[in-house]
Amino acid sequence: MTFSAKRVMAIFQKDMKDLSKNMYVGTTILTPLILAMIYGGMIDNPTIEIHYFVINLALSIVTAFVQCAIIAEEKEKNTLRGLMLSPATIPEILGGKSLVTFILTIITIILCAMLTGYEPANLGIIAIAITISTLFYIALGTLMGLLSRTVMEASIVILPVMFLFGFGTILQPFAEDYPILSVIDYLPSTQLLELATLVEAGSGFVDVGGNLAIIFAWVVVATIATSIVFKKREMDE
């Protein structure tokens, strides 16, 4: 079966309409924006750590949570089963639903960067890194949504994920005292911060290749896990 852009756009338009009516999900977008406004107003020259604390929080709250809620709502309304049995393929279904989250994420991050005054030294590298990171959080949100039965349950399931990936960089200083926390160094949020720090120091694409590779590896693992769970739900239901 060939990939159909029309089916993707149909799913995208439906989810956009549903999301516009869901105030609970929509208001989550305000959280990183308010935080960015506070930092931007209180600090004259925010450090790169502050900029990426806001950006990572946007990725974990907006991207992961919104995607998780979209999938969980489909399951709660028993409409996901209908999509699975429709002519739409898995890439089309997940692509249409992910497009809503992707657009909201990029808009939110751009607004956050404007509010905190973040101007990356190399916009191209940062754009690539944030795009790859967004794909990871979309896959993660989809996975959490598939494992949830309702939107309310999804909002609870996603909390540890939001804390780990949104606030993980804050725990880095404690890694020396607690070796188990050394895993934080390999989280996408930490790799994104390290990449941005290198870029500000004048590093080029080759220098940050390792960071991009680690983030992309997370994308691959999350995507495979999501596909497996999706197919399992398709057969079970």
Concatenated DSSP letters of 155-209: HHHHHHHHHHHHHGGGGGGGTTT-GGGGGGGGSHHHHHHHHHHHHHTT--TTTTH
Residue 236: pLDDT above 60? no
Residue 110: pLDDT above 90? yes
Share of the chain above pLDDT 70, in %: 82
Share of the chain above pLDDT 90, in %: 35
Average pLDDT of the chain is 83
The Cβ of residue 77 has, within 10 Å, a number of other Cβ atoms equal to 13
pLDDT in tens, 194-230: 999 999 998 888 999 999 999 999 999 999 998 888 7
Model confidence, pTM: 0.88
Chain centroid to CA 90: how far? 19
- Of 135 and 183, the structure prediction assigns the larger pLDDT to 135
CB of 94 within 8 A of CB of 19? Answer: no
pLDDT in tens, 56-93: 999 988 898 888 888 888 777 777 666 666 666 777 77
Q: Give the pLDDT band (50/70/90) at residue 124.
A: very high
Biggest CA-to-CA distance, the chain: 55
Residue 20: pLDDT above 60? yes
Residue 235: pLDDT above 60? no
The pLDDT of residue 68:
87
pLDDT in tens, 132-158: 999 999 999 999 888 888 878 888 888
The pLDDT of residue 84:
66
- Of 104 and 11, the structure prediction assigns the larger pLDDT to 104
Q: How far apart are CA 173 and CA 21, in angstroms?
A: 41
The pLDDT of residue 27:
75
> Which tokens is 32 given?
């990183």
pLDDT in tens, 98-108: 888 899 899 99
Q: How far apart are CA 131 and CA 85, in angstroms?
A: 30
Q: Which stretch, 149-163, 164-178, 182-196, has highest mean pLDDT? A: 182-196
Size (the chain), residues: 237
Sign of CA dihedral 143, 98, 12, 19: positive
The pLDDT of residue 161:
81
CA quadruple 144, 147, 151, 152: dihedral, nearest 10: -100
